[in-house]
Structure 1
Amino acid sequence: MAYPQQPQPRYGHCDSYFVESHDDGVYAARAEARERVRAIARMQQRAIAEDLSRQTADEYQEDIMDHMEYMESQTIPDVNSIDIQTEIQWFMRPYLLDFLVEAHAAFQLLPETLFLAVNLLDRYCSRRVVYKRHYQLVGCAALLIAAKYGDKKDRVPTVRELKSMCCSLYDDEMFTQMEWHVLQTLNWIVGHPTVDAFLQIALSEGRYDAEVEHMSLYIAEIALFHKEFVSTRPSVIARSSLALARCILSRNQTTVSEWAGSYDPQTVVSLSNHLYQPSQVLSRKYASMHLSNVSTTVDDFLQHQAQIARRATAPPTPPTTVALEDSKPTMDGYGPQTPQKTHYGAAVMQHGCLTPPITPENEQFGHGNGSMVKSQAVPPAYPTTPTPDHPSNLHHTQYYHNSYLQPQPQY
């Protein structure tokens, strides 16, 4: 009996059900081409969206500015209310701000988050009595709210991280309760046009300069540490810090628009007076390369200005042949010269310079009966932040890390 022959396999014998195809390279090339086309399409869509957003922003720019200026007037803290706090004092504020600056840098948050957190802190202290032991807790809650409001979601600090930075001084539930209490106190009005928001608007009207932006932010963050700028409008601080930054960096003061080119001269002078002793934490932060080393640039600028001032105020050497009665005090520099008293006799000549009569230290001669009276101390140009007589009684160790107890500059 003959059996039928089995049909031969079409593709030959195979020991496995998985056969390697020789067309994988073609399919991979086609997939890569499709992905490239999709990426180009996404870039084009993003460019179109940015263009439409820019056109819409230009159309509504005036309305946006009006709303921002209205909101900044509604969300400014009250300095007088903070003054009547029973436990927290102004000299404690720089220590807390140092902590917030370091936490802000550690979590790599946006610049506007720091300004918003400080604003929430000051607004809460304007409405509620804050105890010393809870001051840092309020600052952490303000930073947490500000990060949730406008920062990237993956960079928002967790309660566990904040608790670790506070050396486990507060429980997890205390952070949640304080966060809720701050929001309730502020009637859930978190939105506040920060200095960074106004600064970005002013910078967008000219050619972008990273060094000018970093310098302006450095000056604006210095202003956070001082009482006199707490109630100053963010728009005024933004434009004044931008003008001062351009002056330090020898940039031209652009006047593209009337709003961006206008600034308060008095605020510029006040900001410049506080550049000499910035916070050490803030100075280290802006000494990095990605922030253009602006703190080092400011130090070099101040040293150069001090040298110019010393040369300008140095008294000139008058000729030795000039008679005493013909010589008059001059004002070549900004500093006042020592007046020559006419009731003295011949003055002594030393090294070609007129030697003024010796005036007792810290005293001056009266004009009435010739008696000597104590001179009054000249008041400072700006009010200084009060400092404690005995810092050891402040118990900062209850709510600050040991590194913040190092000697800090007075603000």
Structure 2
Amino acid sequence: MLDFGISVSPCGKITAQMLNHLKKDMTVDHGKTRSLLNGSRGPLQEISNRMVTQRPKGFKDPNSFSMEVELCQAFSEMLRGNIEDIDAGDREDPQMCSDYVKDIYQYLRQLEVQQRVFPFYLDGTEINGRMRAILVDWLIQLHARFQLMQDTLYMCVAIIDRFLQAQPVSRKELQLVGVTAMLLAAKYEEIYPPSILDFVYMTDRAYTPTQIRATEQKILKELNFALGRPLPLHFLRRIAKVSDASAESYLLAKYLMELTLLDYNMVHYNPSEVAAAAICLSQKVFSEGQWAVKNKYSSSKFLRISTIPQLNSSSIKDFAAPLLGEARQLM
């Protein structure tokens, strides 16, 4: 049983400024604007250089809102025309869902907000960030021992955070919640999930199958059976495709993302934000981590990405210095 006794405290957008300049210096004939959307002329050819007639103060043009909408649509169409369709080559692969992949990710962006985790949700409870980190580190080792899918680990941690912010537990129950969350995530993601008895054995029989089943029911009821929270991996795969990331850059981004699972100060960031930050950082500088995550990514299977010499560069230390100072204050 884990010891938690350590006490440690859509497309291009038209800005309002652009619209103001357009309304001030130009006027657009509505019939011509509609022709923009039909593709009969280029958008820039339709904009006149005539000055807008000065209106009395407080006068509201009933057509102004319609004109702004049409201008936004016209400029948006013009900007989208130069964007490469990265899904064009996937038309023949039904598993890539190229016809509605954009709708899928739009839905995931909405869902990650609906099922968000709030910052400092452990305040006022028996559990603190250090205890959570110990639990997650142990679950990473458990995950590797069972050779489960990567998505299972992220879902497990998401279930833990969402449950603990809604239903605080005692220190002695924390590992029970963790192992049950891993069981739920495995059932959701894996073809052949480990059995309850496997988890009982991995906890050195600290908990019984009956206790795990009861906690499973408690978690599912608290989360209203809504386990499909988007994961950082979902967004990382999409971002890596858009950015045409190399295998090394992609693996480093995965390493950085997995490090965030241990960090209590990162729980409130949306999965899409974590993925975007990880791939951005992996393409600029390299970072070094600790815990079981570093050992996992030091194997040849992951190209020993956590042991590369760039991880000790001065640039990453400069990046991390302000954050490390904040973390010490929070502790």
CA distance in 2, matches of 1:294, 1:52: 31
Aligned equivalent of 2:250: 213
Partner residue of 1:186?
Answer: 223
Match of 1:60 in 2: 100
Which among 136, 142, 166 is matched to residue 127 of structure 1?
A: 166
Name whichever structure is richer in helix by fraction.
2
Distance 1:296 1:138 in 2: 33
Q: Which moved more, 1:300-309 or 1:89-98?
A: 300-309
Aligned match of 2:306 in 291, 295, 304? 295
The match for 2:142 is 103
User: Within 5 Å, which residues of 2 pair with 1:177-256?
Assistant: 177-207=214-244, 209-248=246-285
Shift of 1:208: 6.0
The count of aligned residue pairs is: 239
- The one-letter code sitting in structure 2 at the alignment partner of 1:76 is R
2:6 maps to none
C-alpha offsets along residues 209-244 of structure 1, whole Å, 9 cap, x if unaligned?
322222111100111111221000110110110111
Task: Rate the CA distance shift 1:304–1:158 in 2: closer, same or farther, 3 A.
Answer: same
Match of 1:74?
114
Deviation at 1:113, TM superposition (A): 1.2
Higher relative contact order (CA 8 A, sep 6+): 2
The change in CA–CA distance for 1:110 and 1:379 in structure 2 (over 3 A counts) is closer
Q: Which amino acid counterpart does residue 89 of structure 1 have in structure 2?
A: N
2:184 paired residue among 142, 145, 148: 145
In structure 2, do the counterparts of structure 1 residues 194 and 307 end up closer, same or farther at CA, with 3 Å as the change threshold? closer
What is the rounded CA distance, in whole Å, between the counterparts of 1:68 and 1:186 in structure 2? Answer: 18
Q: What runs of 5+ residues in structure 1 fail to find an aligned partner?
A: 1-48, 250-274, 310-377, 388-411
DSSP 3-state at the match of 1:242: helix
Question: Which of 378, 383, 404 is 2:327 aligned to?
Answer: 383
- Confirm whether residue 176 of structure 1 aligns to residue 176 of structure 2: no
Pairwise mapping of residues 388-407 of structure 1 onto structure 2 (< 5 A)? none
The amino acid across from 1:303 in the alignment is: N
Deviations 1:15-45 (A, max 9, x none): xxxxxxxxxxxxxxxxxxxxxxxxxxxxxxx
Structure 1 letter corresponding to 2:297: Y
Distance 2:176 2:157 in 1: 13
Equivalent residue, structure 2, for 1:304:
313
Distance 2:106 2:281 in 1: 25
The letter for the 2-side match of 1:292 is L
* Unpaired runs of at least 5, structure 2: 1-89
Task: State how far apart, in whole Å, the 2-side matches of 1:295 and 1:380 are.
Answer: 20
Normalization by structure 2: what TM-score? 0.67
CA–CA distance in structure 2, aligned partners of residues 79 and 307 of structure 1: 25
Aligned-pair Cα RMSD in Å: 2.6
Q: Distance in 2 between matches of 1:99 and 1:192?
A: 22
CA contact (8 A) 2:91 2:99 kept: no
1:168-222 deviations in Å (ceiling 9; x for gaps): 1011111111111100010100001100010111122354632222211110011
Residues in 2 aligned to 1:184 and 1:381: alpha-carbon distance in whole angstroms: 39
**Distance in 2 (alpha carbons) for counterparts of 1:202 and 1:165:** 36
Q: Which residue of 1 aligns with 2:67?
A: none
- Opposite residue 382 of structure 1, the aligned amino acid is E
Q: Name the larger-Rg structure.
A: 1
Change (3 A) 1:141 1:50: farther
d(CA) in 2 for partners of 1:182 and 1:106? 24
